[in-house]
Structure 1
């Protein structure tokens, strides 16, 4: 039986109406949440509203454009031909531009000192430390940072520290910050020296190396002492904003996701002509290999400019000499266009192969890693590689695979392994690294976690989107972690430079 899938649309928003214009430019901005691991399909509909019409119900429908949010983001500016009623392609072009809303992921580096603080000790000088609190909307206070204690010093210089902009002020530059100076006591009953109010907006005055100062005030002394001025001066010597680049910064700066798939053609999959085989091609129901391939590939293809996906196989004997693919990764499917090309090539090559063995995946990892290593010497984030390995069994070259993963962790590369079938995949969990640090046979630890393993059986009765969400959720952080560790900043794009038409 065929499965009928009905897609429902949820209304988001509409632009303003522009009168008497055939080349309108709309100022309305639509704000959408972006999820890399999901295919977020969008539909834009264009209407002609005449002055005599009452709203969209009586407006003339001119046509529509469908795309994904990933396509818009990867190009920054997407132009598509308008599909008129009836499905014909019109001459009109709709252009959609995108930009990321500024987040609060930046870090702030602050360097405080003080001078002439009140002396609270009888036999020595005060031991001051500084606390900074964020005043919340409900008037409660949240401790943001507490400095170290500088012993026996009325003119302390506290160590430079970092704090996220979100923690400091929730992204609100005018939010009130309550700052308190204390004299440390070993019994925990610290003596109050004074306080002052500040904001990040004021602190930014120290960005260019200028000092910002606040009098440290003890309210009790202000009431009791006639000539009281302050209990010292607190000085901000430096305020430095450390930009934390996001995944979208890199993607919209031109970074391309290079997607490669490797398929297990070992004999344990069963004869593809048998309906019990994991490679069996059912006329109506895709097998697990195809489901996983399409679920992940449909998302990755939006971020790959040439849409060319290398597809490799392992564990098979291939014509004309029928040598077993064991010691090297051999491309058995010519690079097709779009993910559907991989699907068609996979189906076409199955009858020509002899499923054999063993299940060696290290050569595949090394093959992609060799290509990824060419990116290491570039100063800009231009290509990041995702390797999808689809396999049905326990790998037979575990030591070499561990070594290959450790070496690949130094490269712009992520590895997704989907276990197909009902085999014992316990060894795969070790490669994932979630339960501990993966090490090579020589003991070298993985530099960063780049492997995500998921058994397909956990998603057998779920939607393909659920599988894709699980295996791709970690990719954005892996991309950012790699480039940040290398000190590589995203390329700053020229004004919507990639404005090529995407097609009908």
Structure 2
């Protein structure tokens, strides 16, 4: 999303000026010859990705921890937005992790760092650089390799569920602890790690957790591209035992859609040569495969899609008593309050895209009649069966009529409204017509109480045909909103799942209430 234009830096009108060109880039990280910080075992490395924002290094994301390995290939794929007219500085820091204590940032846990720009990685596609300790000292022979891939035309993602049966037992006193790795074989015959499952302990017929990968990452969106799948017996010292492998393609995997299953013999080439009656080292079964096509906002617009707008207004007590002139909801007979100004400014732009000019109008955070119980998703026209208003003027009238009848309260829970609109969008998506796109416009004075639930709701909503515009009203601290916008990094659910696409745009109203309509439009 584009950054909002501040009042002090209004650009000169230039009809030919290109928009900020933005694409998404996937980064894969591996290291070689890391320093050994542990006395009994080898280091347990983890990579942190930091991005420079306003002169400060901010952690954007981190990889998994790989136990006892000085040459790790991380399964984690970092996704960054790439604006090619900006210098976007990145810093990769490698640390030795300590079990439950997590990743320390002490000097003795630091295995080395490397700085570069997104542009350098994208231009070279593969960058290998030495790791440096503090004060520019080389971290021995340690190197870090970053491989980049631009995601062109996001073709969606696939959900896969694997299990295995009767795997070879590699352990003496117990059963194997198997995990599965999937590699994509590129045109230059090099292999890229696509996914590494969790370890299932002491089990020769494991069922691994289902997982999602982008089609871009799995097979470069080419169904016939060869994939190599390897099953290992996990070893806590990093010396995993090879159980077997098989080769397949995404085309072949698709036979597992619906009720069908696909299975492969898991083969150990050495045993095949040595053992006369060798059949396999077990069988790997693809239990289920689901393909999810990801549509962009542009896909919906170009496809003649109907846009449906929902306005959600923050009626929490932090806005101030509407009878007080300091309140953002001040009932002033002579001029509109801050909420009305924001509603009209943004709503008039939005209604250009809405063919029937009807807006669903909701409120949250107030006690409402008749019982005066707190509601986080009530219709401001008090008609739960039909919350739509005729155009922005209809929303304004419903807002003015509703304000004296409610009691501003709290907390500021945003998740219920997002979930409500997402439910309608999900029902629409099930029709398979992709004929409606939903935009939720949230007007709020700032701090969100249910931040974890809101992040979870946004991650879920990023899979649906919807976007969220948050307009910050007043002069409060909008840090929470900037986090939800995700401009400084990928927004994640509390469990660490990233948004499928960036669906939130935050705009502080104070920064554009005095600029022209054209500039306001470009912010949104």
Give the TM-score normalised by structure 1: 0.43
Bigger RCO (CA 8 Å, 6+ sep): 1
Which one has the bigger strand percentage?
2
Q: TM-score, normalised by structure 2?
A: 0.42
Q: Which has the larger radius of gyration?
A: 1
